[in-house]
Chains A and B, each alone.
Chain A
Amino acid sequence: MPEDPIATSKKTVPRVNLRRRVVNGAVTCAAAGSVILVLIPLVAVFGYLVYRGIGSVNWAFLTQTPKPVGEAGGGMANAIAGSAFILLIASVIGVPFGIGAGIYLAEYGRNRFGDVIRFTADVLNGVPSIVIGIVAYGIVVLAQGHFSALAGGVALSLMMIPTISRTTEEMLLLVPNSLREASYGLGISRWRTTLSITLRTATSGVITGVMLAFARVAGETAPLLFTAFGNQYWNFSMEQPTAALPLQIFTYAISPFDEWHRQAWAGALVLIVLIVVSVSAVRIAASRGMLKGAN
């Protein structure tokens, strides 16, 4: 009697399945392992920061200016406010220019000039932040004759612009061309289409890019060293040297005093928490306006 073909094939099926299952399992494990590997440093850094810093975060730390060496207490309130102030200046300059450049690159820059800008932005992205600080020193501090919050803001905005423009470009290019055509088909002009259709459709991606750039520069120390310079007191003038959290952390961390070391840890913790909070707040606010079923 000839062998039943179905029976024969049945015999081979489990073997194929086994091999497939093994490969599937291995690849899934590798992927999960990578995720854990990436998460370990993140969790370790944050955990250690909480461990060392939480003890010194208290009401005084968040509301008072630094005390002279040797006196206990005091805080980094002026540095927290100063950081917010400098980041506000940086965003006011960097976000419009970054998004504007991104729009140009995506919608109009399909030419040699656009390629030059893209290349420049990519190079600028890789320039060490201390060099950006020197540039801001040259164009703002030397021109004004003194350190200032403005100089710090300009330095940080120079770092934000290439990141924002490149991500904005990518996000706009993801918007299907059919939407632009639909808009042109209604007799809507090109600039109107770009602003009200293309940019609007890409909003959530553009916001992600902006927040990435924001989070990146919020922790920068080097560009502020000789631009914002730092300050032991409150300052809300664009024209005056201003304290910033990363600067304060840097100064305290290399000091010989234990009390300052503890405050530096607390400052680092506060900085990270503030970045996470502000990025999340913007994301939540942005998703509020979304319609049911959009995207």
Chain B
Amino acid sequence: MNAEPNTEIGVQVENLNAWFGKTQALQDISMNVAAKHATAIIGPSGCGKSTFVRCLNRMHETVRDARVTGRVRIGELDVYNGTPAVYVRRHVGMVFQKANPFPTMSIYDNVAAGLRLNGFSDRHKLDEIVENSLKMAVLWDEIKGDLRKKSGASLSGGQQQRLCIARALAVEPQVLLMDEPCSALDPISSGKIEDLIFQLKEHYTIVIVTHNMQQAARVAEYTGFFLLGRLIEFDKTEKIFTKPSEKRTEDYITGRFG
């Protein structure tokens, strides 16, 4: 259940367990996520997909009574051992299911927020980073005239989601976690985000949770199938979707349950 031996490992997960109070949400997950590739996480609702990605940047522990054991390594970074959570999160960007731009901030301030609120104040550098991040998120051309005039919340749903991606990119993370980034978007906006993922994976390790199996097949080189808190199968996307080794994976993919 590992990535190809010759690809670099972006995120190494060992024996990860997660709980909400007394309910165990993840059971003994181990997987190696390939660096600078996209990895899709699929599975029925409530199977622990979101919890899994939220464990990778220590967002899980922000929920009350939540608990994690196990090991996560991102490059040199030991996520649960001796690294402050805020430091981990600066290296692991996250895009959420529902676009959540800061409504009282302008488009510019939204993108700059991660750096500014962490104490970065070089104006010229900031201008440059904001522009680059928005270009990388393919939003620049649509909004460059309203950068400081309009609120992040005034954009359309698809634009808001790309703004959130730009905001995550501005802090220059190594890994980008995407928790169902397209589930609230129309097909055209989804298509734009997918194109974006293709470009982003040249620079970033991407983990994307999705309910849309076609989307997983389109954007990801690797796919992991989760069921009831366990990682059932993890392999090349092509193999998962054509000849999965597990009966349960096949059942899910062919729509027999879930």
Residue from A179, A193, A293 in contact with B100 in the complex, judged by beta carbons closer than 8 Å: A179
| B-binding segment of A20-28, A38-46, A183-191, A277-285 | A183-191
Residue from B89, B100, B149, B150 in contact with A187 in the complex, judged by beta carbons closer than 8 Å: B89
Residue from A186, A188, A294 in contact with B104 in the complex, judged by beta carbons closer than 8 Å: A294
Interface check B86, CB cutoff 8 A? yes
Q: What per-residue 1/0 map shows which CB atoms of A80-95 lie under 8 Å from chain B? A: 0000000000000000
Interfacial residues of chain A within 270-295, with CB under 8 A of chain B in the complex: 290-295
B149:A186 contact, CB within 8 angstroms: no
A291:B118 contact, CB within 8 angstroms: no
Q: A291-B106, A292-B150 are in contact. Are A176 and B100 (CB under 8 A)?
A: yes
Interface check B164, CB cutoff 8 A? yes
Chain A contact residues: helix, strand, loop or mixed: helix
Q: How far is the CA of A201 from the CA of B113 in the complex (A)?
A: 14
Q: A201-B104, A291-B150 are in contact. Are A187 and B118 (CB under 8 A)?
A: yes
B104:A203 contact, CB within 8 angstroms: yes
Chain A, interface size category, equals 20 to 34
Q: How far is the CA of A110 from the CA of B100 in the complex (A)?
A: 24
B153:A295 contact, CB within 8 angstroms: yes
Interface check A196, CB cutoff 8 A? yes
A186 to B, closest residue via Cβ: B114
Interface check A200, CB cutoff 8 A? yes
Q: What per-residue 1/0 map shows which CB atoms of A7-28 lie under 8 Å from chain B? A: 0000000000000000000000
Which chain A positions have C-beta within 8 A of B90?
186-187
Interface check A127, CB cutoff 8 A? no
B151:A294 contact, CB within 8 angstroms: yes
A65 → B minimal CB distance (Å): 45
Interfacial residues of chain B within 155-171, with CB under 8 A of chain A in the complex: 164, 167-168, 171
Which chain B positions have C-beta within 8 A of A290?
104
Interfacial residues of chain A within 90-135, with CB under 8 A of chain B in the complex: 110
B100:A178 contact, CB within 8 angstroms: yes
Interface check B154, CB cutoff 8 A? yes
Among A184, A185, A197, A293, chain B packs the most CB atoms within 10 A around the CB of A185
B101 to A, closest residue via Cβ: A182
Q: How far is the CA of A200 from the CA of B105 in the complex (A)?
A: 9
Q: A185-B57, A185-B93, A187-B90 are in contact. Are A179 and B117 (CB under 8 A)?
A: no
B86:A201 contact, CB within 8 angstroms: no
A176 to B, closest residue via Cβ: B100
Which chain B positions have C-beta within 8 A of A186?
89-90, 93, 113-114, 117-118, 167-168, 171
A294:B89 contact, CB within 8 angstroms: no
A188:B118 contact, CB within 8 angstroms: yes
B86 → A minimal CB distance (Å): 5
A192 → B minimal CB distance (Å): 5
Which chain A positions have C-beta within 8 A of B94?
185
B179 → A minimal CB distance (Å): 10
A8 → B minimal CB distance (Å): 42
Residue from B89, B153, B168 in contact with A293 in the complex, judged by beta carbons closer than 8 Å: B153
Q: A178-B98, A181-B59, A187-B171 are in contact. Are A295 and B117 (CB under 8 A)?
A: no
Residue from A182, A183, A188, A294 in contact with B153 in the complex, judged by beta carbons closer than 8 Å: A294
A289 to B, closest residue via Cβ: B104
Which chain B positions have C-beta within 8 A of A196?
113, 117
Which chain A positions have C-beta within 8 A of B168?
185-186
- Per CB-CB distance, the 5 closest pairs between chain A and chain B, nearest first, are A293-B154, A187-B90, A186-B114, A185-B94, A294-B151
Q: Which residues of A are at the interface with B, using a C-beta cutoff of 8 A?
A: 110, 176, 178-189, 192-193, 196-197, 200-201, 203, 290-295
Given contacts A179-B100, A186-B90, A291-B106, 5 further A-B contacts (CB under 8 A): A182-B101, A184-B59, A185-B96, A188-B114, A294-B104
Q: Which residues of B are at the interface with A, using a C-beta cutoff of 8 A?
A: 57, 59, 62, 64, 86-91, 93-94, 96, 98, 100-106, 113-114, 117-118, 149-151, 153-154, 164, 167-168, 171
| Residue contacts A-B, CB under 8 angstroms, 14 given | A178-B96, A179-B103, A184-B62, A185-B89, A186-B93, A187-B88, A187-B90, A200-B102, A290-B104, A291-B150, A291-B151, A293-B150, A293-B153, A295-B151
